[in-house]
Amino acid sequence: MKTATAIAAAVRSGEVTATGVAVRTLDALAADPHVAVTRVLAERALAEAAAVDAKRALGCDLGPLAGVPYAVKDLFDVADLPTTAGSAARAKGPVAAADALAVQRLRAAGAVLCATLNMDAFAYGFATVNADYGTTRNPHDPARLAGGSSGGSAAAVAAGLVSFALGSDTNGSVRIPASLCGLYGVRPARGDLPLAGTFPFAESFDEIGPFAANLGDLALVWDVLRGGAIAPHQGALRVARLGGRFRENADPAQLAAIDAIAPEAPLIELPDVARARSAAFVMTAYEGGKLHRDALAADPFAYDPAVRDRLIAGALLPDALYDEARAFRAEHMARIAALVAEFDVLLAPSAPCAAPLINDPMILIDGELNEARSNLGMHTQPITFTGLPVLAVPLQRAGLLPLGLQLIGKQGGEGALLRLAAELEDRGIVGVTMPANADAGDMT
């Protein structure tokens, strides 16, 4: 799959048609070997592509994503289809009356929606192990997890099936798959990207974000989704490295990269990291459990067993504990904002390790084996709690399993994240290495 920028340029010039690009993409998605795809939207995709071709014939503006195929995590509303949120129990439910706002913006920009993608049921997990739709496999090694809960989105891009895809991130559900699959991904600042028309998990933390295999594509899609360009960063970049827990459980290659990026940058510790992660667990479980309480009471066996028990536990949490966690978060966000005010970018690992094996989904934490599905987010959850924007970047690791970093910014400071990522690409520290069997062919 070519870059989104290259596809759009080829469609605008008439080198290829949007319909031809869509047909080839639909064929690749239908043959997906990674359990990334839940539904191929052939009829819709061909209609959208034909509309792009018709506009070109009339000499109309085709938009910045003219004819570019993409896919979305199966919690985005797609008009006239049920929004499953990764649960077969919703597959026969009511259909969406309209597309999610993010999908509307992409369509207006000329992009062509081709598929919905696998996820942990109701976005509760970091692995994309789904009892109804299967376990998504990492294109870099099909014996390994793709991460979650947006694993289908990451795998589709890493496999070259589409040049970008949409996911959602509550406690790391974009950043973890981006790290394990070797991609760029975004967790935006609160309210920067539109949530309207997405199935919720935990309202306090839910955000949407794109995955891409090319930094320029990511920036382009990010601009389209937010409805305006990100302001470029002016002046020198002030960078800090996160210490403490962020250096205690990380791959040595991640720490080496962080130190190479900014060897003279101060090493700072965020306060109460363990408490922030615990509070994030409490708030996530409480809000998820409250959302599903009535449906669980009516038919608990319709739920993925691995998710059902966690939602029931969340539904039983006392209000007072949730209120305490919320109050702590408000105080914590204010303290963090003051602490990081003098910096433009903070550096930290994303997932603490490379992708675990599907048949042995355990990871080492403090020298002991722990379940990957709930612990891969140990470095992302505390950052979620701060409300700061994050750009996930892949380390340049040809021939090795992917690893990623979080570039963490200030409110309104997304331009600094993109600038640093571009500089790190130029230095050969970050960049996407596609799997050997990825679909990287032409567009015709």
Which residues carry out catalysis?
Answer: 73, 149, 173
Assign residue 294 a region: left if phi > 0, alpha if psi is -120 to 50, beta otherwise? Answer: alpha
CA–CA dist 173, 176 (Å, integer): 6
Backbone angles phi, psi at 19, to 5 degrees: -65, -45
Both tokens of 435, joined, read: 């799997």
CA–CA dist 262, 33 (Å, integer): 39
Burial letters 67-77, b for 16+ CB under 10 A, else e: bbbbbbbbbbb
Query: Are 392 and 350 within 8 A, CB to CB?
Result: yes
Q: How far is CA 262 from CA 182, 239, 326, in A?
A: 21, 7, 34
CA–CA dist 436, 179 (Å, integer): 18
CA–CA dist 426, 136 (Å, integer): 32
Backbone angles phi, psi at 318, to 5 degrees: -70, 150
Backbone angles phi, psi at 263, to 5 degrees: -65, -25
Burial letters 324-337, b for 16+ CB under 10 A, else e: ebeebbeebbeebe
| CA nearest neighbour of 70 among 29, 98, 32 | 29
**DSSP label at residue 355:** P
CA–CA dist 363, 355 (Å, integer): 9
| CA nearest neighbour of 222 among 409, 50, 79 | 409
Q: What angle do CA 67, 72, 77 make, to 5 degrees?
A: 105
Both tokens of 49, joined, read: 């592509």
CA–CA dist 116, 70 (Å, integer): 9
Q: Do strands 141-145 and 164-169 pair parallel, antiparallel, or not at all (unpaired)?
A: unpaired
> Which amino acid would we find at residue 368?
E
